[in-house]
Structure 1
Amino acid sequence: MRIEEGYVQILDRVTDIIIVGGFNVYPQEVEAIINSHPSVAQAVVVGMPHPVNGQVPKAFVQLKEGAQATSRELIDFCKHHLAHFKVPRSVEFMEALPLSSTGKVLRRLLREQK
C-alpha cells in the first residue's frame, strides 16, 4: 500500500506476497473480501505455481456452520470486488484450516497441497 511521501507499506509478510504476472497480490486483501461473504467463516489465500504467470492465488475456505457456497459463487463474488489478477483461480473448501499451536494458520501446509 502506498502512503504519503513516496513510501510503501507492506501489509503482509514479504514471503506471503503472491506475484501474478509481475503484479503483487497481498493475501490479506483477497482474504478480507472472501471473509466478507456471508457464508464464509475464514479464508486463507496462498500463491500456487503457474506455468505462465509464475503464481496464482488459491483460496482455502472454511464455511460457517450450516452455510453453503460453491467455488464459482466465491470466485464471482471476488470478481466484483477485486482486479482480475487478484481473483483466486480456485477455491478449496476445508472443514478446518490447519493451525499451529499458537492458533495461526499454517500457510506452508496449504501451499504444499496440490
Structure 2
Amino acid sequence: MRSRGVMLGYRNLPEETEAALKGGWLHTGDLARQDDEGLLYIVDRKKDMIISGGFNIYAGEVEAVLAAHPSVGSAAVIGVPDSRWGEMVTAFVVPRPGRHIDVPALRSHVKQVKGSMYAPKKVVVVDSLPTTSVGKVDKKGLRATYWAESARNVH
C-alpha cells in the first residue's frame, strides 16, 4: 500500500523499517484474495501461512472453522516442522466453559468444512492462549518451541 498516511517507520528498528517500506510501498504481510466482482478479502498474514504437503494453508481459515465448533472457545493454528509434510497443521484450542474437546471429532469437523489438508494433524488442548502486550494471540511464542532448531523466521 502507498499513501501519505503510511507510517514513517518502526521506532529504533531500521532493518524492519527498510523491509516494510521497500520501494516506497508499505509491505503489510497480509495475504488477500479477490473475488469475481473485484472485492478483496484479507485471508491471513504471510508469516502465518502454513505450507504442508505442497499446499498453502491459511491458519486464519482453520481457526475460524475451529472457533465455530460448539466445544471450542478460542483457537490458534500454526505450522510446525514435519519431515513428511514440511509443516504440520497444529491447533491449540481452549474449550468453551463446561465443554470437553473431542479431538478426533474436531479434526473431522475441519476436514468436512475445509478439506483434509486443513485438518490439524495435532491438536493441543490448553486452558488459555498466550497473548502479546496488546492482547493478540502470541503466535511467535507458540512457534518458538517448535522452530528453535530451524532457520525459519518465527517473528
Q: TM-score, normalised by structure 2?
A: 0.67
Kept in 1, the 8 Å contact 2:111–2:117? The answer is no
In 2, Cα distance between the equivalents of 1:39 and 1:85? Answer: 22
CA offset digits 1:26-52 (Å, max 9, x no partner): 011101100011111100100011112
Identity level (%): 37
Q: How does 1:26-37 map to 2 (within 5 A)?
A: 26-37=58-69
Structure showing greater radius of gyration is: 2
Q: How does 1:5-84 map to 2 (within 5 A)?
A: 11-84=43-116
Structure 2: give runs of 5+ residues left out of the alignment: 1-32, 147-155
Structure 1: give runs of 5+ residues left out of the alignment: none
Opposite residue 51 of structure 1, the aligned amino acid is: S
How big is the alpha-carbon RMSD for the aligned residues of Structure 1 and Structure 2?
A: 2.0
User: 2:30 maps to which residue?
Assistant: none
User: How big is the shift at 1:4?
Assistant: 4.0
User: 2:16 maps to which residue?
Assistant: none
Count of matched residue pairs: 114
In 1, Cα distance between the equivalents of 2:145 and 2:73? Answer: 21
Task: Specify which of 105, 108, 112 is matched with residue 137 of structure 2.
Answer: 105
